[in-house]
Structure 1
């Protein structure tokens, strides 16, 4: 009897590291787009075509209502790749309508025509469509290169991670912030574009709390009002308003939303069917709000935050009119309670979609005087955040350091944070230090700043002779000691000086260690030495060099450190970096 042959599965092709990285990049961005409600067209990737005499292709097309995103992925050299795409992008941006007409006729891109016929044609005219080019690079793109190409939205990797975390927690409600990122006014998105001219502010009932009742600084007004969850969601932002606009702000003190916490709150809303009773603490852009007294008279606030036509020191009933715009209410506390109402895709959405419109949340909003500086506003928010959270749970040291960077920029902790960021930009520690919450297998910053850098950079040259400040020869350096100093230029000079001196010593250490030793330590990486303890040990060597007047140049350090590759760095526990530094100094410098 003949033996039955079993059909063997064809072996899946093993991806190269580069192919794997490209695949992971696409998966991340596709997940973000799906969470926000964008549809991805099939059969687009790899289809070569000729447009206006230029041969090109697209990696993905995403569509949400009337917004079309032409998407490109790259993990290689973004400069070289970007310039290759420039001519094609310029041709698209000459006329979005002409390019849409082209892809409707191009047989190789038939999936666009099918989607257009079924989902767009009867809803939006071609003039109502909004097309954007989304360029996604895994590597950083210089500002110089970005400035060469107009009409392209650069979805930098740290911003990808920001929206990945955001949309994982709040799904489709992430579209409000994303539309601002890709520079499409929300009134131009979806059905809004059909009635954008008639969009008007909404009015909510509430009360005004004057400074006399709040004990805040003069000019700081407090308004409390009830607002339905849907209207609040549309206007709110999670971090600072510049969360994705500025690299330094992406890892800001205001914690990202925790998906598990949002989910548990959605379950509460679904099961209990009742509103959260705690109030939401927020700041509101004063140019986006108008106040009226109980008789409907406008309450005008001058640039100092004072009412021009009402000097009442009592709590006053009022109507609060807030523009129907995105990202104008900054949530200092209560972001999870707010975003529990998000537009999701879970089993709770059917019920919560009704609660979003029905249930009202109590918001306590802080109005800053118009002439208040951005720095003072941020310091106020940071301090308030600490006050609120100090009674709830311990604020992690990383968050405290980021707050200190804003509240006290001249403190050793803040200076240490800046120095560590500078060391991460180039040199032996280039791109090895954790800057964002999503980075793995990099050096954690909090302990390096607190225990390694703070004593090394303290602004003190009298009591301490082991600080870089005592070594710094700038004739004006004493100005950094002044209370409430604002000499940021001098501060930046000191930071640059400290980075240079520390980097010199690090360069010498790296030169005397094997390549596989100068890697971040992990249990699976047997030879990698780079750990928080290792870096703090070297920083303590620097303190001893300063104290003993032995600070020198790179070549001198290299000579002294000959044979340091045989030093048993790993025998020192995490808290023994001071001992490590002393023994390295004794063996190689003393």
Structure 2
């Protein structure tokens, strides 16, 4: 909870609620109701139902229910969301503290629709409750302190999930559950019975590392699995996901391709017979007939086994074949009645690569990226931008990868924190950053540049070494943060993106960053620069006169005025 005292007035905040239906256009903010209803959650009307809990009076905007999962949601539109969110955090803290002792039974008397949505199956102790805050116009996560018990849904995440729902409809609920921190053993019958994490067993044919040329500790298993078993567990390596954009790379699933394949399934009914390539978690076990686990390192030949796969969200990585799996999604189209009968009846041929338990998420993604690039290089051309993303993961020592790491850090730290578009789902009022890495930061920070020599004066550092590379990225980020802090201090009131009434654009940011190089050419010693004083005259520059890729001209202008 935030340390500052929260007002306890019961008057509802004046942040405007948005009620317009979702248009589906990226320029308009998604509606939380469209996201969760589209994913199969029931909506319980809550707006206007007033209650008092812990001495605090309020109301909820939305309630969504799926099985025993209950979501208490707040959704606002308008620029003044920080105070509204802070008050809602306080209210929901009271709800969470008094949930079973008073709030839930009393609230259900005022809003019986919640009990109706849950049905008679679940008792209060069975419920998994989550609190969600979503602002359509501003991101509040960095301005409200500790949001507990609220989960803050950012605008980029909302767009991501809205796109996912538009693509795979009710099957999007599995990825939403992972975002909510709800495990499958906490849902439905598993929760009521108190079972531990369930697992499914698949007859499989396993190959040891020696027969695959993979490193020691890996195993490869081929098996048949029904689409539902895969959809529940699957994650697709995307370039822009909600969980960790730095560890994702593949293009988003294409709805039009899914539609074509779904039509084939609905009208033809025949299973796809070509092989799927997935990665499996270290918790996947290869078992002998008697149930004894097999050590992959001890395998010496091809072996018939049972593959035990835990029923856990986000554990099966789809490297190749995402459309063949996801075409079985739970939809609301006319084909779903036919496809629903195939979802657990048909079986897809899967080759699964089991990672050693020592593999970190970074190691996994690099390995998956290499597999993906190898498969697609052999089958079809890979888009240039996608190739750059893959090479950045596979070869982090390259100048482009280092530049991208710096831009990513700047998007999270210092004066540019929260202002840059780092995902295709980031809202359009943020500053596009795709060209900053290759065209601004990479030439500025490349090895043997004037800036690089301020760090590696003796030529003794090696960017192929992970420790040196990390140290150099830290050095770059800290110096750029100092420069940007000085610029933001002198551009008070203007340090916002152009769509939000400020002067910041890709060109502006690029010009400011390149100013560092101009200062070095003038013989400046960076450690001695007081950027607040040095940049005082930039407030008189007409930044609107510089657009497109004219960041070089802007940096010259900035250097002239200082």
Asked if these proteins are the same fold (TM beyond 0.5), I'd say yes
1:416 aligned partner: 403
The structural deviation recorded for 1:172 is 1.3
* Equivalent residues in 2 for 1:93-492, closer than 5 Å: 93-96=97-100, 98-106=102-110, 109=111, 113-114=112-113, 116-117=115-116, 119-138=117-136, 139-142=138-141, 147=146, 149=148, 151-195=149-193, 197=195, 200-239=198-237, 244-246=242-244, 248-249=246-247, 252-287=248-283, 289-293=284-288, 295-296=289-290, 298-301=292-295, 306-307=297-298, 310=299, 312=300, 314-392=301-379, 394-396=381-383, 398-425=385-412, 429=416, 431-439=418-426, 440-460=428-448, 464=449, 467-472=450-455, 478-479=460-461, 481=462, 483-487=464-468, 490-492=471-473
1:19 maps to 2:16: yes
Q: Match for residue 68 of structure 1?
A: 70
Root-mean-square deviation over aligned CA pairs: 3.9
Query: Is the contact between residue 97 and residue 126 of structure 1 (CA under 8 Å) also seen in structure 2?
Result: no
CA 1:257–1:196 in 2, change beyond 3 Å: closer, same or farther? Answer: farther
3-state SS in 1 of match to 2:250: coil
Q: Alpha-carbon deviation of 1:193? A: 3.4
Q: Alpha carbons of 1:164 and 1:88: their partners in 2 closer, same or farther (altered >3 Å)?
A: closer
Cα distance change of structure 1 residues 393 and 548 upon mapping to structure 2, 3 Å threshold: farther
Displacement after TM superposition at 1:84 (Å): 5.5
Q: How far apart are the structure 2 equivalents of 1:83 and 1:330? A: 39
Number of the residue aligned with 1:565? 542
Change (3 A) 1:500 1:50: closer
| Contact 2:205–2:221 (8 Å) recurs in 1 | yes
2:474 is the alignment partner of 1:493: yes
| Paired residue secondary structure (1:263) | helix
Cα shift at 1:97: 6.4
Contact 1:203 1:321 in 2 (8 A): yes
Contact preservation (8 Å) 2:431, 2:497: no
Q: Is the 8 A contact 1:59 1:73 kept in 2?
A: yes
Deviations 1:517-558 (A, max 9, x none): x8548xxx9x99765456545555543442342465536754
TM superposition shift of 1:500? 3.3
Preserved CA contact (<8 Å) 1:253 1:400:
no
Task: Give the drift of 1:560.
Answer: 7.3
Deviations 1:348-382 (A, max 9, x none): 10111011112111111111222234432222122
Question: What's the counterpart of residue 9 of structure 2?
Answer: none
Alignment of 1:16-55 (within 5 A): 19=16, 28-42=31-45, 44-51=46-53, 53-55=55-57
> 2:531 aligned to 539, 544, 554, which one?
554
- Secondary structure at the counterpart of residue 298 of structure 1: coil
Structure 1 unmatched ranges of 5 or more = 1-16
Q: Deviations for 1:463-512, whole angstroms, at most 9, x for unmatched residues?
A: x4xx421233x779833x1533334652343233342365268559958x
Q: Which residue of 1 aligns with 2:3?
A: none
Measured in 1, the distance between the counterparts of 2:96 and 2:102 equals 8
Conserved 8 A contact 1:45-1:57:
yes
Tell me the secondary structure at the aligned position of residue 71 of structure 1: strand
Instruction: Give the conservation status (yes or no) of the 8 Å contact 1:41–1:62.
Output: yes
Residues 268 and 26 (structure 1 numbering): CA distance in 2 closer, same or farther, change over 3 Å? same
CA distance in 1, matches of 2:261, 2:198: 31
Unaligned runs of 5+ in 2: 1-13, 23-27
**Paired residue for 1:543?**
517
Q: Distance in 2 between matches of 1:436 and 1:242?
A: 6
Alpha-carbon spacing, 1:103–1:265, altered in 2? closer, same or farther (3 Å): same
Residue 341 of structure 1 and its aligned partner are, at CA, apart by 0.6
Shift of the alpha carbon at 1:266?
1.0
Cα distance per residue 1:69-122 (max 9 Å; x no partner): 22222453436643465255334433436433212322xx3xxx25634x5444
Mapped to 2, the partners of 1:344 and 1:203 lie a distance apart of: 27
| Distance in 2 between residues matched to 1:419 and 1:500, nearest whole Å | 11
Following the alignment from structure 1 to structure 2, what is the Cα–Cα distance between the partners of residues 341 and 358? Answer: 11
SS of residue paired to 1:223: strand
**CA 1:431–1:292 in 2, change beyond 3 Å: closer, same or farther?**
closer
Tell me the residue number matched to 1:11.
Answer: none
Is the 8 Å Cα contact of residues 286 and 367 (structure 1) preserved in structure 2? yes
**1:259-303 deviations in whole A, cap 9, x for unaligned?**
22222221121122112233222111121x22134x5563422xx
Larger radius of gyration: 1
Specify whether residues 235 and 565 from structure 1 end up closer, same or farther in structure 2 by C-alpha distance, changes over 3 A only: closer
Q: 1:391 to 1:22 in 2, by over 3 A?
A: farther
Query: How many angstroms apart in 1 are the aligned matches of 2:486 and 2:497?
Result: 17
* Residues 157-197 of structure 1 deviation map (CA, whole Å, 9 limit, x = unaligned): 33323322222211111222222332333233234434553
